[in-house]
Chain A
Amino acid sequence: MINELYHYIIITKSKLFDRAYYLRNYPDVLHADVDTLWHFIRIGWKEGRNPSQSFNTNYYLNENTDVKQANINPLIHYIKFGRKEGRAPNPIPHPGMGKYIFEPVKSCPDTEIPIFNKEYIQTHPKKLDEDLGFEKIKIYGSEINLDDKSRNDYENITLYDTKISIIIPTINAGDDFDFLIKMLINQKGFHEIEIVIVDSGSSDHTLEIANRYGAKIIEIPNEEFSHSHARNLGAKNATGEYLLFTVQDALPPSLTWLNELVTGLKTKDVSAVSCAELPRENADLFYHVISWNHYEFLDVNKHDRILAMPEEPNHFNLRKNGQLSDLACLIPAELFRKYQYRFSYAEDLDLGIRLIKDGLKIAFLGSTRIIHSHNRPAYYFLKRGYVDNIFLSEIFEDFKIPQLKLLNVIEDIAFSYNFLIKNVFTKIQALSFPIQLSTLHMEVKQYLGEAKTYPYPIKTSYQENMSLDPELSGFIDIIINKSGYTQIDGNYQGNLIEAMFGFVNITFEYLKTTHDIIDKPFIESLTACLTKEISILAGAHLAYAYINRSDEDIELAAFLHSILKANV
């Protein structure tokens, strides 16, 4: 008790304890209604709580193992010894310190004229009034005229005397669906907006919400659903002159969004128009990277593009010039009915390519966007990488398939996840933060380069030993066991890590648009992103191996194909 009292006095005198900070950051202390400094001295520091913004308890203990081992209050140590010894109370200074350099002005008064009317203040001393008042509030001055409206987005829009049908395939669309429908039916500038829902078996409030807003509802059995069929059915039942295809988890960013699409269609004189997406607030880094990279590929990050048949119609040019997106695809109803959607996958790209092949133009807008993103686990992206590449090989004859063998790809997968987690991620986490983005990029590339001399892992359970999403680690265990993988002697012979260099460069190119300096908490996002990147690559490589399957691995390839094609 005497010791605690002594600490109380020392800390109070030091002025290094900030009661307001403590209460703000630790509301349980506020509820407990105890003296904040007593709380810090008796319990708080042991729980790693900080006495103020300027002293980081855990940092001090971790950096000064003598203090940690002695089990003494780190703030007391800092006040009595650490400060004199030059020990830092907080993490290392921010990069770029001292960059603001200037010559001071000759000291000026705060203001050249008096602020207060001294004469009035002297004759009207301030009343000490601590009572709460219970009077009606008097409002001086004129009434505020709220009818004199300020500018808004939709005062200058073009009005279209037309009917738009919005077609949305649904299944258990969730609570956000209400907001989506409300935003759609309130879009400005149209004679009429019709909502057509094609539902394949919702058991939540989806149909109730659709009914409440007067949507036309078409119900189909779940097994009848395909992306093309549902949308074609919606189109068949739509009565508008224009069709807008969108999805149940998108959100228009404004009430003029649809008007911008229609204006785009008409002014650019194109047969169909789509727009880019804008990830939601909780979208992860991986989603931002792939979304940004996709729009870099389409060249719509900075402007809109009108797309037409390329001179050289290879798969690269056709994808770059034939892209429509079901997140938002506006097309005249009559034209759509001639073409309709085909396939169970990438039906939007297929439609775009058919339109441009027939000499029509389409547009992809980067200046107008729709809010949409998914946070999906790494395993989803492994499957996505697989399905995308199978699809591309099926529809583009010139799509080049690397000659890979399934067993080698599985060895590569076993190596790559282990190498990334154990070597690359561990070393990234051990760096000093904050760190310049360019330095971090160099470090990551260096750690990846160490693959050449890193050993293949012994056969192990990824589900038990790796911090991966359970479905992904379960899948890796399955392919390792089915393939009969054993540890390989010698240096790494795979392709996945080499491919990762490309993805890492894309990631850092994206980060260059948003960051100069990276702080430590961001690293969790980065490693999660890299895990999804290796997964999408692993999926692609499994697809290449499937396409190159031979008698020796045909059963295993068929087994993996059945797993990886499901539910994407």
Chain B
Amino acid sequence: MKILFLTHQFFPEYQTGTERFVLNNALMAQKFGNKVKVVTYSYYENAFYDQEIHGILYKEFFYEGIPVLAFKFKRIPENINLVLENKNLSPFAKSVLEVEAPDIIHVGHSMRMHEFIWSAINLGIPYIITSTDFFLLCPKINLTPDKFSLCSGPKGGKACAKLCPELDRKFISRRLEAAEKILKNAKDIVAPSEFVAQIYKQEFPILSFEIIPHGIRYHFIKNNDRVYDKESKITFGYLGNLIYHKGVHVLLSAFKSIETKNSSLKIYGFGQQKFIKKLKEISNNDKRVSFQGLFASEKLGNVLSDIDVLINPSISYETYSFTLHEALACDVPVIASNIGVMGEVIVNNFNGFTFSPGDALDLAHRMEEIIKNPAILNDLKQNIKNQITIPTIEQEAYAYTKLYKNFHS
């Protein structure tokens, strides 16, 4: 079987959760005996591409043994990240599908890739969609009307009109119609968490979703078997991008307010220098806080062995969160904002604690509870060890393989 993966961006240019999901599944589908190719939009400088046809630059290369077709418009359309159609891309998309002749298309992210879906519908090529975020519902992707708020879906455009009045009503209405058509024509729609499925189903109740949680690469996982007593020093950790909506500033502010020498905070991740500078200003040379930079993926187990509690302070919806699940796979409890998938996965006093998103004081209280009584982590770790199962990438890919086979004659 030949499977074409579509995604809005891909390795090595971008390396967020969606790219990991697409790479993991392409790798495993290939290992399970299928031909695969990833087709992605890209933003490399023009010299990178070795082919140009009618204003579209493209290049084929391999990433970790996976064939990749990366393309971009020579003149990038102004609204490419907002719209769900772009007729100028249509002939290219049709040509790619005709030449590659996939048995099935797996859409990992549809932004900038919609013409491939419209062409697939016209050519009768079956496709499945994994909704890795809310892009088909929301041009702002993550249901964030502004910096300090989240919404629960467009409600037919009524919520957009109220909360995002800068967007044209007709545009929203037409965009939702197109989104519904894309979703309805999919052979199957998958969400990595119940939370994502429910947001979509609120908007389109007729849709049926299958839940397939993302898998993780277990050979990077190492069990953190530390046992705690009342004297134990606690190391909190953050792993992820250093960008505003991840809420690291909330975490730093919370930690700064805790007066204790018995704990420390390690921040792992990468971001723009300007933003990191702001974060460092918040920590104000607090020697308990260290910025550790990036780490190689094979070091994940070691990094999670060095921290006692992972903190996910996101102030926007997370649809899955690889680091949260990787921490649980290593038996590390989590404190997370009570929104999105974190609110679905983290249960207070069972495998961690939740707090009100953006509320540094609430987060500080949760951290203090652990600092004052580190032994509570022992029970949480036992619960995680005995009762939580985070799927492997083989298990995730197996579930998808069963779906592909359903639609491949």
Q: Does B315 contact A (CB under 8 A)?
A: yes
Q: How far is it, in angstroms, between the C-alpha of A151 and the C-alpha of B209 when the chains are bound?
A: 6
Q: Determine if B88 and A107 form an interchain contact, defined as CB atoms under 8 angstroms apart.
A: yes
Interface residues on A, range: 35 or more
Q: Does B60 contact A (CB under 8 A)?
A: yes
CB distance from A91 to the nearest CB of B (A): 9
- Encode contact with B along A278-303: 1 for CB under 8 Å, 0 otherwise: 11111100001000100000000100
Contact residues of A between 473 and 518, Cβ < 8 Å to B: 510, 513-517
* Residues of chain B contacted by A566 (CB below 8 angstroms): none
* Residues of chain B contacted by A522 (CB below 8 angstroms): 65
Q: Does B152 contact A (CB under 8 A)?
A: yes
* Residues of chain A contacted by B349 (CB below 8 angstroms): none
* Residues of chain A contacted by B94 (CB below 8 angstroms): 102
Q: How far is it, in angstroms, between the C-alpha of A137 and the C-alpha of B145 when the chains are bound?
A: 11
- Encode contact with A along B17-37: 1 for CB under 8 Å, 0 otherwise: 000000000011011111110
Q: How far is it, in angstroms, between the C-alpha of A8 and the C-alpha of B59 when the chains are bound?
A: 29
* Residues of chain A contacted by B80 (CB below 8 angstroms): 110
* Residues of chain A contacted by B48 (CB below 8 angstroms): 52-54
* Residues of chain B contacted by A143 (CB below 8 angstroms): 152
Selected from A107, A146, A253, the residue in CB contact (under 8 A) with B394 is: A253
* Residues of chain A contacted by B357 (CB below 8 angstroms): 136-137
* Residues of chain A contacted by B166 (CB below 8 angstroms): 116-117, 120-121, 124
Q: Determine if A100 and B65 form an interchain contact, defined as CB atoms under 8 angstroms apart.
A: no
Q: Which residue of A lies closest to B315 (CB)?
A: A137
Q: Determine if A140 and B149 form an interchain contact, defined as CB atoms under 8 angstroms apart.
A: yes
Q: Does B339 contact A (CB under 8 A)?
A: yes
* Residues of chain B contacted by A280 (CB below 8 angstroms): 394
Q: Determine if A281 and B31 form an interchain contact, defined as CB atoms under 8 angstroms apart.
A: yes
* Residues of chain B contacted by A108 (CB below 8 angstroms): 86-88
- Most A Cβ at <10 Å: residue of B27, B44, B54, B60: B60
- Encode contact with A along B191-202: 1 for CB under 8 Å, 0 otherwise: 100110111011
* Residues of chain A contacted by B230 (CB below 8 angstroms): none
Q: Determine if B358 and A100 form an interchain contact, defined as CB atoms under 8 angstroms apart.
A: no
Contact residues of A between 103 and 119, Cβ < 8 Å to B: 103-105, 107-108, 110-111, 113-117
* Residues of chain B contacted by A146 (CB below 8 angstroms): 194-195, 198, 344
Q: Determine if A139 and B88 form an interchain contact, defined as CB atoms under 8 angstroms apart.
A: no
- Most B Cβ at <10 Å: residue of A23, A94, A367: A94
Selected from A16, A114, A213, A367, the residue in CB contact (under 8 A) with B171 is: A114
Q: Determine if A137 and B209 form an interchain contact, defined as CB atoms under 8 angstroms apart.
A: no
Q: Determine if A99 and B86 form an interchain contact, defined as CB atoms under 8 angstroms apart.
A: no
Selected from A102, A137, A151, A254, the residue in CB contact (under 8 A) with B150 is: A137
Q: Does A15 contact B (CB under 8 A)?
A: yes
Q: Which residue of A lies closest to B163 (CB)?
A: A140
Q: Does A128 contact B (CB under 8 A)?
A: no
Q: How far is it, in angstroms, between the C-alpha of A152 and the C-alpha of B212 when the chains are bound?
A: 8
Q: Does A317 contact B (CB under 8 A)?
A: no
Q: Which of B122-130, B179-187, B215-223 contacts A (4 or more CB under 8 A)?
A: B215-223
Contact residues of A between 356 and 407, Cβ < 8 Å to B: 367, 369, 371
CB distance from A313 to the nearest CB of B (A): 31
Q: How far is it, in angstroms, between the C-alpha of A199 and the C-alpha of B183 when the chains are bound?
A: 51
* Residues of chain B contacted by A100 (CB below 8 angstroms): 51, 53, 58, 92, 95-96, 99
Q: How far is it, in angstroms, between the C-alpha of A294 and the C-alpha of B290 when the chains are bound?
A: 53
Q: Which residue of A lies closest to B27 (CB)?
A: A281
Q: Does A93 contact B (CB under 8 A)?
A: yes
Does more than half of chain A's interface fall in helix, strand or loop, or is it mixed? loop
Q: Determine if B169 and A117 form an interchain contact, defined as CB atoms under 8 angstroms apart.
A: yes
Selected from B77, B153, B395, the residue in CB contact (under 8 A) with A110 is: B77
* Residues of chain A contacted by B217 (CB below 8 angstroms): 281
Number of A-B contacts (CB under 8 A): 258
Q: Does B151 contact A (CB under 8 A)?
A: yes
- Encode contact with A along B268-284: 1 for CB under 8 Å, 0 otherwise: 00100000001000100
Q: How far is it, in angstroms, between the C-alpha of A95 and the C-alpha of B240 when the chains are bound?
A: 37
CB distance from B283 to the nearest CB of A (A): 12
Q: How far is it, in angstroms, between the C-alpha of A183 and the C-alpha of B390 when the chains are bound?
A: 10
* Residues of chain A contacted by B153 (CB below 8 angstroms): 141
Q: Which of A171-179, A222-230, A233-241, A411-419 contacts B (4 or more CB under 8 A)?
A: A171-179
Q: How far is it, in angstroms, between the C-alpha of A213 and the C-alpha of B389 when the chains are bound?
A: 14
Q: Does A24 contact B (CB under 8 A)?
A: yes
Q: Determine if B278 and A132 form an interchain contact, defined as CB atoms under 8 angstroms apart.
A: yes
Q: How far is it, in angstroms, between the C-alpha of A194 and the C-alpha of B146 when the chains are bound?
A: 54
Q: Which residue of A lies closest to B395 (CB)?
A: A253
- Most A Cβ at <10 Å: residue of B15, B91, B159: B91
* Residues of chain A contacted by B395 (CB below 8 angstroms): 251, 253-254, 371
Q: How far is it, in angstroms, between the C-alpha of A89 and the C-alpha of B65 when the chains are bound?
A: 21
Q: Determine if B165 and A120 form an interchain contact, defined as CB atoms under 8 angstroms apart.
A: yes
Contact residues of B between 248 and 307, Cβ < 8 Å to A: 249-250, 253, 270, 278, 282, 293-294
Q: How far is it, in angstroms, between the C-alpha of A133 and the C-alpha of B245 when the chains are bound?
A: 10
* Residues of chain B contacted by A25 (CB below 8 angstroms): 12
- Most B Cβ at <10 Å: residue of A54, A93, A521: A54
Query: Given A107-B88, A136-B357, do A114 and B168 touch, yes or no (CB 8 Å)?
Result: yes
Q: Which residue of A lies closest to B188 (CB)?
A: A151
Query: Given A111-B171, A115-B83, A137-B357, do A517 and B67 touch, yes or no (CB 8 Å)?
Result: yes
Q: Does A153 contact B (CB under 8 A)?
A: yes
Q: Does B208 contact A (CB under 8 A)?
A: yes
- Most A Cβ at <10 Å: residue of B163, B166, B174, B210: B166
Q: Determine if B148 and A110 form an interchain contact, defined as CB atoms under 8 angstroms apart.
A: no
Q: Does B13 contact A (CB under 8 A)?
A: yes
Q: Determine if A514 and B34 form an interchain contact, defined as CB atoms under 8 angstroms apart.
A: yes
- Encode contact with A along B398-409: 1 for CB under 8 Å, 0 otherwise: 110000010000
Q: Determine if A513 and B35 form an interchain contact, defined as CB atoms under 8 angstroms apart.
A: yes
* A contact residues vs B (CB 8 Å cutoff): 15-16, 18, 21, 23-25, 27, 30-31, 52-55, 89-90, 93-94, 96-105, 107-108, 110-111, 113-117, 120-121, 124, 129, 132-146, 148-153, 175-176, 178-179, 182-183, 186, 212-213, 251, 253-254, 278-283, 288, 292, 301, 367, 369, 371, 434, 510, 513-517, 519, 521-522
- Supply 27 A–B pairs (Cβ within 8 Å), ascending by A: A23-B270, A24-B15, A30-B294, A52-B45, A52-B48, A53-B12, A54-B47, A97-B50, A100-B53, A102-B54, A103-B91, A104-B91, A105-B88, A107-B88, A108-B88, A110-B83, A111-B79, A114-B168, A115-B139, A116-B167, A117-B168, A146-B195, A254-B395, A513-B35, A521-B62, A521-B65, A522-B65
Given contacts A104-B91, A253-B394, A253-B399, 10 further A-B contacts (CB under 8 A): A97-B51, A100-B53, A101-B53, A105-B91, A116-B168, A132-B278, A137-B358, A152-B211, A251-B394, A514-B30
